[in-house]
Structures are given as C-alpha cells and as structure tokens.
Structure 1
Amino acid sequence: MTRSRTGAQPFVALMTAEWTKLRSVRSWWVGLLSSIFIIVVVSLGGASGSTVESLDVTVGPDGEAVTDAFQFVHQPLPGDGSITARVGNFRGTEPLSPWAKAGVIIKDGTSPGAGYAALLVTPDHGMRLQSNFTDDRYVDQTGPADSWLRLTRDGDSVTGWNSRDGRSWREVGTVDVGFGRGPVEVGLFVASPDVFRTERSLAGSSGGSFPTLGTAEFDDVEVKGVSGSTAWASLDVGKPSTPGSATGEATSWTVSGSGDVAPLPPDTDAVRLSLTGVFIGAIPVLAVSVLLITAEFRHGMLAATIAAAPRRRRVVLAKAIVIALTAFAATLLAAAAAFLLSQPILQANGFTPPMYPSRSLLEGPVLRAVLGTAVTVGLLAVLALALGVVLRRSAAAISIVVFLVVLPQLLVAALPVGIGRTLLLFTPGAGFGLQRTTATYEHVTASCLPEDGCLAGGPWLALAAPIVWAAVGLAVALAAIRRRDL
C-alpha cells in the first residue's frame, strides 16, 4: 500500500479502506437496506391512511386555491378611473385579527376568486397594496387611524396612492392585474380573518379558529370614471364566517365585514406526508453509524487501523465522510422513491388540485424537501459516529442519538406553539423542517405548528442545527480519539 513520506496513508486510501469495511459487514448493509425499506413502506402506509374530503374551493386568477370573503360596497366602473376614500375608526370584535383589512378595491366583478387590486390598512401591519391574492406589498406604517387611500385604474394597471391630509398624495406602487379594459367593480371593503387559538399540554392539545368582525368608517368617498350618479350596492362576497353589513350613502359609509382575501394554504403538506417514513427509517442508519466505530473498539480492530494510519483523527474523519455519504445516498434513494410512489395514492385519496397541486420531484420545494431530508440524515449519521467515538459503547451512543432526534419531536406537541417552534429549531432533527413545502405568506393567518415542520426562521434555517450538532460532535470526537488509549 502506498504511503506518504510521513508514514501515513493518503486520505483517499483511508476513505477507500473505510468504505471497504462498511460494505464487507453484512449486518451493516442489512441495516442500510432496512432503512430504505422502512422509509418507503411507512411513507406509503401514511399516504394510504390519509384522506381528505372533496371541498368546494374558490379558485384564483392563476388557478390557485384562495379565500375570497368580505363585505363589499361597490358600483360599476366601465373603464379607466379611480376611487378615493378616507378610512378611519377601524375597530372590531376582541381580539381583532392583526390582518383585518379595510380599504378601497377594484375587482374584476363580484364573483369569489376574481382578480383585484386593493389598497388597505390593517391593525398591526400598516398600509398594504395587495393584488390577486398572493401579491402583498408593505406601503406605510400607517395603522387604522384616519388615512386617505386612492386607486387609479389604467387598463390592466392599477396604481395606489396615499395621503395624510387628503391634499398631498404619494404614489405607493403599481400592480398589473389582468383586467383588460372591460368593466370592473370599484368600491370599499372590510375583511377580518378568523383567529386561531391553540391550547397545549402533556395531556394533549385543543383549539380551533374563531370568527372576528371588523368595522371601519369611510368618508370623502369619490369615484371618477363614471357618468352621472351611480347607485352603490353592498354584498358579502363569498361566504364569510360572520355576515357583514354596510350603512350609509354617497360619500360616507360604515362597513362591517368578516373573512379574508388571501391565498388558502392546505391544512396538510402532501409532500411532507409522503416522507413520513424517514423519521423512523433513519434509526437503522444511525445504528450503523455508531457500530462503524464501536465495533472496532469492541473487537480491538481500531489499534490495527491506527497502526496503518498513525494519524488517528484522519481515521475518524474518513469514517465520518464515508458514513455521511452512504447515509445521504441511501436516504436520497428512499425519499425519492417514497415521494414518487406516494403521489398516486394521495391523489386517489383526495389530495387533488386546486387545494393540493400536482407536484414533481424536480420542482424546487419538492427537490429541497428530498435533498434536505437526505442531507439531514447524513449529518445525523456523523453525530452518531461522533457519539460512538466518545462513548465507545454501542447501546449508549445509539440510545442518546435516537433520544436527541425523537424526543423533541414528541415534546413540542405539548409545548406552547411559539416555544415549540423555537426549541425544535435547536435540535439535531430540525433539518426535517426542510420537508415542509406548503407556501407561506406573511399576510395569511394560518395555523403553523412545529410538529408539522413549521419552524421559526423558515425551512433553510432548520438545516443549521444538524450542521452545528454534527460539527461540534465531530470536533469533540477528534479531540477524544487523540487523547485516549485504544
């Protein structure tokens, strides 16, 4: 075997030797293959046992599922024109939703799901320019105090303006909404989304959504682009949780409304559901990672390995790279297979568009979920190996790494949501948060539970925890192997 002048094996040769050891032990390969089998079978079982009822979902202009429910005081606008109003005294039921909305809107008809542009104020998130459900732009810190709002339409383009005194106006943005130049509806609107409450304890959790009702006062209402005096009408668009109302005439209105105008994310992440087996299937991989080093301690083989490669830390580092790549490859294969095989089952069980769009393995969020899952298991394998080096006992090392990965996932279901989301972010298993592919929107009030992969900081930040755990664990292992007798 080729040696360097210092007597140490080239690092590539060390890795090759460790790979040869790994593939030559039958029980280890059985463990890796069982991991692939468990991931696929458990994931398919989860998909088979999950069903959703067919829902009457509102579809937005781009074919996405949306919620479109609010009180609308409106009149027709035959072509280009504008609407101006002062909105104030925005109040409502307690607690008023932080994303309650009151403002002016131009909408392509009164049917739920029709395209729109709106300039609005909220209790907690300032003034916003929103359009076609998914586009949300922060405009100003102005809250529900008196604010003058204006929208001007020029064909497909709608421009927002705001003023603090009704005389000096500031342009806040332009959106393209796809109206063409046909007639639209223009007017005032109020919406107040449901509030989600969750109570959690060791005995279980309870909660749900509760309707709210917002009320705003509008005056100095002016519509340009219509001929003569056009009558106003009011109605509840869609099916708000609580019926709305409107009183007033001409230039002054008091409007009360419930509901929301926003995207409608699904309650269940179908991609994450198709990867449920990874959590259990990773355990055999972690066991093999520990045994890769503890078996050599137990049988006295490590001394021979060190004799061939006197730099002990290089041996551990080679083992870490080999087991990380092996765990990554095995999990990647299993996760990809689980996703592809689960999709037809989920679609047959009701996970269909528009609420559950068809997903492709090469789609960005899906690819992130599959690759991120494999990377996470690879990092956990390094952590398991490091524990094996430090503890030198298979049972203890395997128990601790499984404890670190599994227990937090069970514990967060009993903790307050905010604490659970933050706590889980610092655990080795936080990387599984990359499996979450449900789109999130700042302006959508929705349930976000840590056990569903909804972590503070978003999916990519979740990968930081297993990286740190693996790096620190490996550093401790390298220090330990250098100082201890074999």
Structure 2
Amino acid sequence: MIEFGRLVRAEWTKFRTVRGWVLGTVAAVVVTLLLGLFVASNSHASCSNGTVDIECPTPPAGPDGQPVRDKFYFVHQPLAGDGAITVRVTSMTGIITYPPPDHDEIVPGLVEWAKAGVIVKDGTAQGSRYVALMVTAEHGVRMQHDFTHDTGGRPGAVSADAPRWLRLTRVGDTLTGAESADGASWTRVGTAPLAGAAEIGLFVTSPSDLTVHGGVGGGTATARLAKATATFDNIGLTGTAPGGEWLRDDVGHVLGPDGTPHHPGGVEVAGGVMTVSGNGDMAPLVGESGPGVQLVLIGLVIGLIVVIVVAARTVSTEIRRGLISVTLLASPRRARVLAAKAVVLGAVTFVAGTAAAALVIPLAWNVLRDNGFRQPGLPVATIARVATEAGLLVAGTALLALGLGVLLRRGLAAVGVAVVAVVLPYLAAVIGGLPTAAAEWLLRLTPAAAFAIQQVAPEYAHVLANYTPGSGYYPLPAWGGLAVMAGYVALALGLASARLRRSDA
C-alpha cells in the first residue's frame, strides 16, 4: 500500500508539471462553461396574445412546486367535511382541431388521455391539490391526485352500452375512489389524502393531440387542440348544502385578444343529465417549461473531446518517447503503475467535470430566465447530483481514453476511437435525426449511455410528451448509463493492463 501511494504521488507530480496536460484540463472546464453561457445567451422565449407580444406567463406550480398544467371545466359545489359524489358516465366523445393553415379542419376523435369524471379539489386556483376519479379514452378508469400520482382501475372505454359508475368518498382527510359497471357492485380503485374545505363535482378535460416528427435535433412535436365531451347522469351528492347551486368554472382558461375566453369549455343541463365539455390537462408540465440541462451542458461535449486528448497523451507521450520503460523499471508491478495513472487522471478529471457543471448550470439558468424562459430553477440538491454525475462522466471518458492509449500506443488513434465511442453516438442520437428506437439503442449500448446524467425531469406514463433523447429523455437512468460507461472503462483498463505486462512500450 505504501508503494502504491508513492506511485500515485509520482504520477500526480508528473501530471501537474506537464503544462500541456494542466492547461488542457483547465481548457475543458472553460469550454464547458463559456459554450453553455453562449448558447443560453442566444436562446430567447417570446409569447404573444394575437399580434401583441407579451411576457411569457409563469406556469402554475403544483403542491410540490413542480410546474403543472391545470386546465379543465369544473361543475362543483362547496364541501366542508365528509361527503361523496356518485355519477354514471354514459358517453365520451371529442374533436381535434388542426392549426392554421388548416384551422377549419375539425375531425372527430379523442386523445388517449382525455379525461372525464369526479373530483375533489382544494379550491379553483391552478396548481391546488386535488383527487380525481375518471374514465379515459384509452386507459380505462384511473384515479389521479396532485398531478403526478396515477393509479389504474378497470380497462376499457365508456359508451352507452358499457357505462361506468364512479364514486369519490371523503371520510376525514382520506378520499376513496370506487368504480362499478352497474351501480350495485363496487370495486375500490385507490385512496388519497386531501384535508380541509374543498370543492366537489364533475370535470372534463383533454390534452392536445400530439404528433412527433423525426428529424435533426430530435424532431419536432405538433400539438393540435383537442376537446372532450362527456355525459353524466344519476348524479348523487352528499356533504354539501341541500339543493345547493352548481357552480361553473373553466379553470385555467385564458383570454383571447378580444377579451373572450380562448377555447372555453361548457356544460348543458337537461333533466338531471349534465353534458360537460373541456380541454387542457391536469398533469405535470412536461417538455414545455423551457430548455433543460441538456442545453446548458452543451459545452460538455467539446470539453470531453479536450479531456480525451489530454488523457490519451498522458500515456502515449511516455510510450512514444520510451519514458514508460523507466517508470516500469522503477516499479516492476506494472498493473500498479497503470492503476496509479488511472487514480490521478480520474481524480483530476472528476474534479474538473464536477466544477464545470456546478458552475454552468445555475449561471446559464439565470441567463435563460433573463431571456424570457419561465422554468423554475433547479433545486440545489439536483444541481449537486447532476454536477457529481457529470464529473463521473468526464472521469470515465478520460479513463477510457487512457486505456485506449495503452492498447493502441498512438495518441491520435486513441483519441479517434474514444471520440467515436463516446461523443459521436451522443451527437447521432440527439441531433443526428435518427429514428427514436435507433437513438435509444445507441444510448443503451455505447459509452454515450452515461449522458443520461442530463435527464432531470421524470417521464410520466399518464402524460403525452415527446419523450426522446433530443428532448432530454434517455432510455436508461443516470446510474444505469454510468454503469454502462464503467463497464467499458473496466474492459479497456483490463486489456491495457494485460498488454502492459507483456511489453514495455
């Protein structure tokens, strides 16, 4: 152990006294920082109301502070304590409106996550807590609460021949959702908490119809306005004032240039039957709150190339000049020599990568907010996590280049192979216009899988969005991507150690 410590000190002394290696490492940090700030400063967000430019609104925040979409048509009454609502849903239809220049083209249809059902909500303010039991167009009965939570019930669509009964009951601070096919035999779907005075009633909403087109930069997503309409009868309500008046709110509606509601919902009442229409969604805001970590860490790609060059040269220079023979003569246990080089290089590049990410993420985020983007800042814990994982990505890339340098004995060859293995798959997957499936396989099977450290927003099964690498969503979690990188590093260093034991240069 003492001998290994001496080797590490010797390698550290060697590294810090070679000006090119030190300057190269510093250059990687500077490139990551400056390029991230440059891209952020040239990214702008703008919004308009008709032909008038306005400041982009800040999206509403849910109970945990996360940006959410909270727009639906709400027919409701006040609920102070315990109570329940029971309804039968007999139909659910919808329309999809194409944007200009085909704005007059309206086709019938429902988006798969169109929703209609019963809800208890903590007021009508956007982002307030809620518990809802609903039928959906393609995902059967669901119980959802507070935007991010989703529990599945019985599958199947609703129709006049196959109606669905829904019941939401509050006892104390707990709401229980139950469903039935006939109104007699009930099955519990789930429970969720919601305390205090609230509003109880019916709702309908529908997310936009989303179409994803492949292309450079991960493709584009086109959203078409979708509107759902549901029919409710056998409406039973307890816990509210007897004979109370139904209140009507188009929660989250916006006003058009002429001051009228833009794409409003509505309700028609006839003989105890309510027909409610609405559009929007109650869900986390995914893919619409502005650029993510992937944008502000764009400089990391160039920084990695600089690190690859430095790492490959730390060993190829010694091999080319025959200096490694002196090192191996002084320390015959050659695997330890390689291990000492790896410890020093890994530590230096880990610190450099972590520092670069920790600096650029909050600084670039502030620039983006000044340029009109309204996404909230990342929590300190998230920044720390991403920065640490970025350091691991940089260190892993450096160690891979080190192993390749020993194997190939030529710095240029090692640099080329490392760039092809780490950088090119990432660029091909994110901006190369590959089909999503091909891009995801590249980010599963190559060292570029470690770029998954850039994903900070979760993917929600109940939210329609463009979940592709180009949009910042990766097929593996961060730890999984780093594990793939670690496997390649272990293989490269293992083969390099075997070759080093067989020859001096």
Q: Shorter-normalised TM-score: what interval?
A: 0.7 to 0.9
Distance across 2 between alignment mates of 1:321 and 1:141: 55
Q: Is residue 2:307 matched to residue 1:285?
A: yes
Instruction: Say if 1:467 and 1:233 are closer, same or farther in 2 by CA, change over 3 A.
Output: same
Distance in structure 2 (CA, Å) of the matches to 1:202 and 1:342:
24
Q: Would you say the 8 A contact 1:376–1:429 is kept in 2?
A: no
Q: In the TM superposition, what are the counterparts of 1:46-125 in structure 2 within 5 Å? A: 46-53=39-46, 54-60=55-61, 62=63, 63-77=65-79, 79-93=81-95, 96-125=110-139
Distance in 2 of aligned mates of 1:328 and 1:395: 23
Bigger CA drift: 327-336 or 446-455?
Answer: 446-455
Match of 1:405 among 411, 415, 422: 422
**Residue 269 (structure 2) pairs with residue 252 (structure 1):** no
Per-residue CA distance 1:349-387 (angstroms, 9 max, x = gap): 334xxx422335xx2222111000000110011111111
1:46–1:475 CA distance, 2 compared to 1 (3 A): same
2: distance between equivalents of 1:174 and 1:232? Answer: 26
Does 2:333 align with 1:333?
no
1:264 paired with 2:257, answer no
Deviations 1:248-302 (A, max 9, x none): 4354334343211112244434544433322211222111110111111100112
Q: CA deviation at 1:118?
A: 0.6
Partner of 1:393: 410
Q: Which residue in the other structure is 1:143 paired with? A: 156
Do structure 1's residue 477 and structure 2's residue 496 form an aligned pair?
Answer: yes
Indicate whether 1:295 and 2:317 are aligned.
yes
Q: How does 1:190-209 map to 2 (within 5 A)?
A: 190-201=204-215, 205-209=219-223
Deviations 1:294-329 (A, max 9, x none): 111100112222222223222222222221111101
The residue number in structure 2 matching 1:175 is 192
- Checking the alignment, whether the CA contact within 8 Å between 1:232 and 1:250 is kept in structure 2 is no
Instruction: Name the SS for the 1:446 alignment partner.
Output: coil
The normalised TM-score by structure 1 is 0.87
> What secondary structure sits across from 2:352 in the alignment?
helix
Q: CA deviation at 1:229?
A: 3.7
**Cα pair distance change 1:257/1:333, threshold 3 Å:** same
| Matched letter for residue 119 of structure 2 | I
Determine if contact 2:324/2:504 at 8 Å carries over to the other structure. no
1:168-188 Cα offsets, whole Å, 9 max, x none, are 33444332334x23xx43322
1:132 is aligned to 146
Range 311-320 or range 283-292, more displaced: 311-320
Q: Which amino acid aligns with 1:36?
A: V
Cα distance 1:480–1:122, how it changes in 2: closer, same or farther (>3 A)?
farther
Q: Please tell me whether residue 224 in structure 1 is matched to residue 238 in structure 2.
A: yes
Distance 2:157 2:269 in 1: 20
In the TM superposition, residue 202 of structure 1 has moved relative to its aligned partner by 6.0
Match for 1:263: what amino acid?
P
- Deviation per CA, 1:121-146, whole angstroms, max 9, x where unpaired? 33444432222323x13142433243
Note if contact 2:60-2:67 (Cα within 8 Å) is conserved in structure 1.
yes
Give secondary structure in 1 for the equivalent of 2:183: coil
Residue aligning to 2:372: 350
User: After alignment, is 11-20 or 150-159 more displaced?
Assistant: 150-159
TM-superposed deviation, 1:155: 5.8
State the AA in 2 paired with 1:26. Answer: R
Conservation of the 8 A alpha-carbon contact between 1:212 and 1:242: no
Does the CA contact (< 8 Å) of 2:231 and 2:274 recur in 1?
yes
Closer, same or farther: CA 211–326 of 1 in aligned 2, 3 Å? same
Task: Measure, in 2, the Cα distance between the counterparts of 1:347 and 1:242.
Answer: 29
Q: Counterpart amino acid of 1:378? A: A
* Contact 2:226–2:279, Cα closer than 8 Å, also in 1: yes
Indicate whether 1:158 and 2:179 are aligned: no
Do 2:83 and 2:237's aligned partners in 1 also have CA atoms closer than 8 Å?
A: yes
CA distance in 2, matches of 1:88, 1:142: 16
Q: Distance in 2 between matches of 1:116 and 1:157?
A: 12
Partner SS for 2:324: helix
| 1:403 partner amino acid | V
Aligned residues: 470
Counterparts in 2 of 1:424 and 1:194: CA distance versus 1, 3 Å: same
Question: C-alpha distance in 2, partners of 1:386/1:61?
Answer: 48
CA 1:231 to 1:50, structure 2 compared with 1: closer, same or farther past 3 Å? same
Q: Per-residue deviation at 1:228?
A: 4.3
Provide closer, same or farther for how the CA distance between residues 394 and 109 of structure 1 changes in structure 2, counting only shifts above 3 A: same
Q: Compared with structure 1, are the counterparts of its residues 14 and 252 closer, same or farther at alpha carbon in structure 2 (3 Å cutoff)?
A: same
Percent identical across equivalent pairs?
39
1:317 to 339, 353, 356: 339
Query: Cα–Cα, structure 1 residues 245 and 473, in superposed 2: closer, same or farther, change >3 Å?
Result: same
- Rounded to whole Å, the distance in 1 between the matches of 2:154 and 2:126 is 29
Q: Deviations over 1:196-252 (max 9, x none)?
A: 222224698444212223343333221123454445465533238854454443543
Query: Helix, strand or coil for the counterpart of 1:106?
Result: strand
1:204 and 1:262, CA in 2 relative to 1: closer, same or farther beyond 3 A? closer
Quick one: structure 1 residues 45 and 211, their matched pair in 2 at CA, closer, same or farther if it must change by over 3 Å?
Answer: same
TM-score normalised to the size of structure 2? Answer: 0.84
- 2:10 matches 1:17: yes
Distance in 2 of aligned mates of 1:210 and 1:309:
68
Alignment partner for residue 461 of structure 1, among 480, 489, 493? 480
**Structure 2 residue runs without a partner (length 5+):** 47-54, 96-107, 255-261
Taking structure 1 as reference, are residues 318 and 111 closer, same or farther at Cα in structure 2, changes over 3 Å only?
A: closer
CA 1:345–1:228: 2 relative to 1, 3 Å = closer
Does structure 2 conserve the Cα–Cα contact (< 8 Å) formed by 1:71 and 1:257?
yes
